């Protein structure tokens, strides 16, 4: 490899000639694409305006008479491709999108031709053109009107599923999954059953597998209390991961619920009379709009009172939902939500703010039988539902959670409740937390929590490195599963030695928007890959943001994280972005949220629990008194900067990537991906290698990276790096 690079560097004249030719070729291509874009915009403008002159009228007449009004689809698609090329934006599934656009154009022309053939008076913009008329004439003559209609429907369906990641196969898989959900579910014992170890085989130990950075657990079994007698553990070297937790002092685990504080008591006397009058007023208001209904039930929740109405036969449910504002005016309440219908009941639910709102303390949820008696591995105390029942769900079943809400809506308090709920059930050797807090104020309390993998990460660049570390840890665990012939982390922990059991890892990001603004592509790729593959390895995500826009919560992130919690949001658009339906804009704030999962496809209204900082401090002190201070790891050292640098220097495309970067003056992973025809991950690693070598500067928000050296200096840096890497390899091989 080194000899090839030296032979290239001995002929600088030939390299300069080839690079100048490539530069000219790229400029010609860019100019041609820009010209195509201008011509395309001119053609589009000629259809809608007369300011394009005589040539524009000729172009417009030719397009509408020959290609028809559906030619707009072709022009818009050409503009989309040209703009994406000039802006260095990646076009996903180019072949499928191109084929889908052509089929969509032909289908639209066919539909327009059918309209004109049936003597419909359509505007000139909707003319089918010769293409549409020819299609209609040919198909009508051969397959008749029914076949013509079916052809149009098939073409439209094919065009729709050709865009993006959608496909007929995915729809069939969803149908199969839905059918499987109707089948009786297996018990937990059956789910935990994995491949058994045959006689003659021995248990797998992590020490036998080449180590990357990883998390090893501490002790073997979960116990309700610790005794004073300690078992002497085997010492481990630092290369095996971070060491076992320190010996615990005599103490009780799980900790007592009283450590979280006592829930306040509320006086609800007089509420029943107020609520009864509100129920009568709702029935009277509906009768004013010619809707007959009777009050069937009244359910008191901590935040709202739900009036369950039974409508008279023949009354549409949508009519009641459309009167939510009128009902709010009649009851003189700030907001009102209509749940139509209530899942599993023949009623309409009208949710009115409770006259005396009762906040839910975290001790009420954790101290309930629903939390104490749960069998899930990673319980999340979601809060109390409208019916007044504590809601607890398992993070391993979600398997990731997306949280959104405005400032002051209770989002960060809910994240703290989730952290304490997880640590209440799991010991540090069973659970590790990776906390990312770009806001620098919410998670600093948890620096001494024994479950933390690192101190709370506040730097955005370090957060990206942490996500990359999680990817490597996930891949390492899959390698272990393959050797042990198991499917998931539960099966692996059942078949290995106690000291080698793998803990769950929960990555919590309190403000996703800051990461997406700084490194959107890397963060999106890492999160999507973890969301797609990390479930079986015991790695889970909890993402929170106060900006639920499509720039932050992209389509890929939404598709891979079906479990979502929406607190108060400013508009219906934001509500639809996070939970796909409206309603979050009508919440009351301070922990009032809508929760959606695959188990609850329709939003469930929940009052999230709250906990103050004093209780959090007491809980952390109690955990430290049992398990001791956390032993944090350095993610960059665990990742191995030497290994990353060595692997990138061995990449045969590094020299070419440096040359392209210096010629174009742009250090972009997407440009390298397009010009070198490689994957984005490999292109990003090449850019990181150039940054580490000092050829390009660090990423500074949305600004382009700075080029720090010229071609001669870059050649010297590469040659020195290769010599250093070669001597370093000899040193490590000698050990």
Residues 449, 523 contacting (CB under 8 angstroms):
no
Q: How far apart are CA 540 and CA 506, in angstroms?
A: 5
Closest CA to 540 of 550, 530, 548, 549: 530
299-331 residues labelled b (16+ CB within 10 A) or e (exposed)? bbbbbbbbbbbebeeebeeeebeebbeebbebb
- Evaluate whether 413 touches 608 at the Cβ level (below 8 Å): yes
Q: What are the distances in angstroms from CA 41 to CA 74, 75, 82, 125, 216?
A: 12, 8, 11, 17, 59
Instruction: Please tell me the predicted confidence (pLDDT) of residue 306.
Output: 92
Residue 83 host element (H or E):
helix 71-86
Residue 450 · residue 627 · CB < 8 Å: yes
Name the strand (E) or helix (H) holding 443: none
- 187: exposed, middle or buried (C-beta count within 10 Å: 0-12, 13-18, 19+)? exposed
Q: What's the pLDDT tens digit per position in 149-174?
A: 888 888 888 777 766 444 455 555 55
Integer-rounded Cα Rg, in Å, for the chain is 31
Among the residue ranges 7-11, 210-214, 232-236, 354-358, the one predicted with the least confidence is 232-236
Which segments of 628-703 does DSSP mark as H helices, in order? Answer: 635-639, 641-649, 654-664, 669-676, 680-693
* Right CATH for 640-734 from 1.10.3720.10, 3.40.50.300, 1.10.10.10, 3.40.50.2300: 1.10.10.10
275-353: CATH, from 3.30.980.40, 3.40.50.720, 1.20.120.450, 2.70.70.10: 3.30.980.40
Sign for the pseudo-dihedral over CA of 693, 697, 700, 704: negative
Domain with CATH 3.30.980.40 in the chain: 275-353
Neighbours of 643 (CB within 10 A): 12
Question: pLDDT tens-digit profile of 282-334?
Answer: 999 999 998 999 999 999 889 999 999 999 998 888 888 888 888 999 998 88
> Which of 2-11, 208-217, 644-653 is predicted most confidently?
644-653
User: Please, which residues bridge with residue 384 across strands?
Assistant: 390, 607
Residue 540 phi, psi (nearest 5): -130, 155
Confidence of residue 231 (pLDDT cuts 50, 70, 90): very low
List, by residue range, all CATH 1.10.10.10 domains of the chain. 640-734
Span 547-567, average pLDDT: 88
Neighbours of 104 (CB within 10 A): 21
- pLDDT-derived band at 455, boundaries 50, 70, 90: very high
Q: Give the confidence band of 221 by pLDDT, cuts at 50, 70, 90.
A: very low
Domain spanning 362-633 has what CATH number? 3.40.50.300
Q: Identify the CA nearest to 668 among candidates 644, 649, 688, 646.
A: 688
Distance of CA 5 to the CA centre of its chain: 41
Tens of pLDDT, residue by residue over 339-351, are: 888 888 889 999 9
SS3 call for 295: strand
Instruction: Identify which of 179, 71, 409, 101 has the alpha carbon closest to the alpha carbon of residue 59.
Output: 71
- Interaxial angle between packed helices 680-693 and 641-649, expressed in degrees from 0 to 180 and rounded to the nearest 10: 110
Find out whether 590 and 304 touch, Cβ atoms under 8 Å.
Answer: no
Arithmetic mean of pLDDT, 40-57 = 81
What confidence score (pLDDT) does residue 426 get? 92
Q: What is the pTM of this model?
A: 0.57
Residue 123 confidence class, pLDDT cut points 50, 70, 90: low
| b/e burial code for range 438-458 (CB count within 10 A of at least 16 → b) | beeebbebbeebbbbbbebbb
Contact 670, 679 (CB under 8 A): no
Helix (H) or strand (E) holding 309: strand 304-311
Determine the pLDDT at residue 530: 93
Sign of the alpha-carbon torsion through 232, 235, 236, 238:
positive
Q: Are 574 and 409 in contact (CB under 8 A)?
A: no
Write the pLDDT tens digit of every residue in 518-540: 888 888 889 999 999 999 999 99
What is the Cα–Cα distance from 327 to 305, expressed in whole angstroms? Answer: 14
Q: Could you tell me which of 121, 81, 117 has the C-alpha nearest to residue 97?
A: 81
Cα angle for residues 378, 382, 541 (degrees, 5° grid): 50
Helix/strand/coil percentages in the chain, nearest 5:
55, 10, 35
Between these two residues, 163 and 665, which has the higher pLDDT value? 665
Please, which residues bridge with residue 431 across strands? 504
Cα end-to-end span (Å), the chain: 23
CA separation, residue 36 to residues 68, 71, 120, 468, 538 (Å): 21, 16, 35, 40, 50
Sequential DSSP letters for 477-543: HHHHHHHHT-SSHHHHHHHB-GGGPPPEEEEEES-HHHHHHHSHHHHHHHHHHHHHHSTTTTEEEEE
């Amino acid at each position: 490899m080194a000899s090839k690079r030296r032979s290239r560097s001995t002929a600088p004249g030939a390299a300069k000639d080839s690079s100048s030719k490539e530069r000219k070729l790229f400029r010609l291509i860019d100019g041609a694409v820009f010209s195509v874009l201008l011509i395309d915009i001119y053609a589009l403008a000629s259809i809608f305006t007369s300011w394009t002159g005589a040539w524009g009228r000729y172009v417009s007449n030719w397009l509408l008479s020959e290609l028809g009004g559906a030619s707009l689809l072709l022009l818009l698609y050409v503009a989309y491709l040209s703009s994406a090329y000039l802006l260095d934006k990646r076009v996903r599934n180019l072949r499928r999108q191109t084929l889908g656009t052509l089929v969509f154009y032909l289908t639209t022309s066919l539909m327009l031709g059918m309209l004109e053939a049936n003597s419909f008076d359509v505007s000139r913009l909707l003319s089918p053109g010769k293409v549409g008329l020819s299609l209609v004439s040919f198909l009508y003559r051969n397959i008749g009107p029914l076949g013509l209609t079916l052809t149009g429907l098939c073409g439209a369906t094919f065009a729709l599923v050709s865009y993006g990641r959608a496909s007929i196969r995915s729809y069939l898989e969803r149908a199969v999954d839905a059918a499987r959900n109707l089948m009786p579910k297996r018990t937990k014992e059956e789910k935990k059953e994995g491949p058994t170890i045959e006689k003659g085989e021995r248990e797998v130990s992590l020490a036998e597998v080449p180590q990357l950075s990883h998390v090893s657990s501490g002790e073997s079994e979960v116990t309700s209390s610790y005794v004073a007698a300690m078992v002497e553990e085997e010492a481990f070297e630092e290369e095996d991961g971070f060491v076992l937790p320190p010996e615990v002092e005599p103490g009780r685990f799980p900790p007592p619920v009283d450590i979280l504080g006592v829930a306040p008591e509320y006086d609800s006397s007089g509420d029943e009379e107020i609520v009864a009058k509100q129920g009568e007023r709702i029935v009277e208001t509906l009768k004013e709009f010619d809707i007959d209904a009777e009050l069937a039930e009244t359910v008191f929740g901590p935040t709202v009172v739900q009036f369950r109405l039974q409508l008279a036969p023949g009354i549409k449910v949508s009519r009641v939902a459309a009167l939510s504002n009128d009902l709010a005016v009649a009851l003189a309440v700030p907001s009102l939500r209509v749940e139509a219908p209530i899942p599993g009941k023949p009623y309409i639910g009208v949710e009115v703010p409770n006259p005396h709102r009762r906040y839910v303390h975290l001790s009420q949820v954790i101290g309930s039988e629903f939390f104490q008696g749960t069998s899930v591995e990673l319980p999340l105390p979601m809060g109390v539902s409208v019916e007044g029942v504590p809601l607890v769900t398992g993070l391993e079943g979600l398997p990731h959670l997306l949280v959104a809400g405005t400032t002051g809506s209770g989002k960060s308090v809910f994240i703290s409740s989730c952290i304490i709920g997880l640590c209440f059930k799991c010991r540090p050797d069973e659970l590790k937390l990776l906390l990312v807090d770009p806001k620098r104020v919410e998670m600093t309390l948890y620096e001494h929590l024994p479950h933390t993998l690192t101190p709370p990460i506040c730097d955005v660049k370090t957060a990206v490195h942490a996500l990359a570390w999680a990817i490597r840890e996930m891949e390492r665990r899959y390698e272990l599963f393959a050797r042990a012939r198991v499917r998931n982390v539960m099966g692996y922990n059942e078949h290995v030695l106690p000291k080698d059991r793998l803990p769950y890892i929960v990555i919590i990001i309190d403000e996703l928007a800051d990461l997406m603004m700084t490194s959107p592509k890397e963060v999106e790729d890492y999160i999507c890959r973890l969301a797609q593959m990390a479930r079986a390895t015991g790695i889970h995500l909890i993402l929170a943001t106060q900006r639920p826009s499509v720039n932050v919560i992209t389509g890929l992130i939404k598709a891979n994280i079906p479990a979502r919690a929406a607190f108060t949001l400013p508009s219906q658009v934001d509500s639809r972005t996070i939970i796909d339906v409206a309603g979050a804009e009508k919440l009351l704030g301070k922990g009032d949220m809508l929760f959606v999962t695959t188990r609850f496809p329709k939003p469930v209204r929940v009052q999230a629990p709250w906990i103050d900082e004093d209780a959090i401090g007491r809980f952390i002190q109690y955990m430290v008194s049992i398990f001791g201070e956390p032993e944090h790891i350095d993610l960059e050292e665990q990742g191995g900067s030497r290994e990353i640098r060595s692997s990138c220097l061995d990449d045969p495309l590094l020299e070419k990537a440096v040359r392209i970067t210096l010629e174009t003056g742009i250090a972009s992973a997407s440009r390298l991906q397009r010009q070198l025809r490689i994957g984005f991950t490999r292109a990003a690693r090449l850019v990181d290698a150039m940054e580490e070598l000092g050829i390009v500067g660090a990423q500074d928000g949305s600004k382009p990276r700075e080029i720090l050296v010229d071609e001669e200096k870059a050649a010297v840096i590469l040659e020195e790096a290769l010599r250093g890497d070669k001597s370093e390899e000899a040193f490590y091989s000698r050990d």
